[in-house]
């Protein structure tokens, strides 16, 4: 039973930190606006 518990904890530690950072960036509207502005300056059309 202990080895199974360790495997589950290992997956959570590897997966959640990266996933959490990704979610934070997606929810940050200022971050998105900065990227939109940069794309418009490059001349890329946004639909």
Q: Give the pLDDT means over successive 10-residue stretches in the chain (47 positions).
A: 61 58 60 62 59
Structure tokens at 14: 């590897």
pLDDT for 18: 58
pLDDT for 22: 61
Show the DSSP H helices in the chain as ranges. 2-27, 29-42
pLDDT for 38: 60
pLDDT for 14: 57
pTM value is 0.16
Among 41, 21, 18, residue whose Cα is nearest residue 31: 21
pLDDT for 6: 60
């Amino acid at each position: 039973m202990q080895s199974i518990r360790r495997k589950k904890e290992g997956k959570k530690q590897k997966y959640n930190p990266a996933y959490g950072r990704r979610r934070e960036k997606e929810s940050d509207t200022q971050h998105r606006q900065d990227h939109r502005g940069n794309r418009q300056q490059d001349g890329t059309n946004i639909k």
